[in-house]
Amino acid sequence: MCGRMAITLPHDAMAQLFAAQPANDLPEVPNFNVCPTQRIAVCTREEERRLYRPMRWGLVPHWYKTPNDGPLLINARSETVAEKPAFRAAIRERRCLVPASGFYEWDRSDPKKPLPWYVTRSDGAPMVFAALWQDWGRGEDLMSTVAIVTCAANARMSRIHDRLPVILEPEDWPLWLGEEGKGAARLMGAVPDNALEMVRVGTEINSSRSQGEGLIVPVPLNPA
């Protein structure tokens, strides 16, 4: 996963879908160009209940002196997430769900001309990514931060990129959130080829400042 997504889902509908209590300070939607360090809505399991609350996209380990004290950790690789110091406690104790309408990925076969694609579920349902979270700071500086778990790309995605977010089905949410005991590691496998729809979109998305519904409008693969 590159590091850009679209979130157009109404918060009340998503909170209802997750059967979660929504916070009052959720980020504004729709946002067709969500970038790292921005706030996104996340479903967690805390104190025996589900919450739907905002977090900073980009996990900040507790030992960072400032949020920018080290690499920006927007993704966590499924193959090593249980071993990396930044993630190993969170993957055991603080797993969460990140809903999105879709995400962007770039075909970089021509380094001078990266071509963007918009990826959604083929059935039109919201994408729900496996993720993990970590609180950082104290007092007024306290913030919750999140990273999305990725796995090896399936055959369809591998044509343009070698990684893919772990996408969970509704029946998997309780296990990932820790409501059904152990065994969440088995959910971090490959995403079936037929689960995804990919369309080429305009290069406007190459800019982190671009906004609007036009960013997800398909463009011809071989324009005249």
Indicate yes or no: pTM above 0.85: yes
Average confidence (pLDDT) over 197-207: 95
| Residue 224 is assigned to a structural domain of this protein | no
Considering only 1-15, 27-41, 70-84, 139-153, which range has the smallest mean pLDDT? 1-15
pLDDT in tens, 106-138: 999 888 889 999 999 999 999 999 999 999 998
| Residue 212 is assigned to a structural domain of this protein | yes
| Residue 221 is assigned to a structural domain of this protein | no
Domain count for the chain: 1
CATH number of the domain enclosing 111: 3.90.1680.10
pLDDT(223) > 60: no
pLDDT(2) > 70: no
| Residue 222 is assigned to a structural domain of this protein | no
| Residue 31 is assigned to a structural domain of this protein | yes
| Residue 104 is assigned to a structural domain of this protein | yes
| Residue 176 is assigned to a structural domain of this protein | yes
pLDDT in tens, 3-48: 999 999 999 999 999 999 999 999 999 999 999 999 999 999 999 9
pLDDT in tens, 155-185: 999 999 999 999 999 999 999 999 998 999 9
| Residue 61 is assigned to a structural domain of this protein | yes
Give me the residue label for tokens 């967690």.
44
Range of the domain at 14: 5-216
Residue 121: per-residue pLDDT: 97
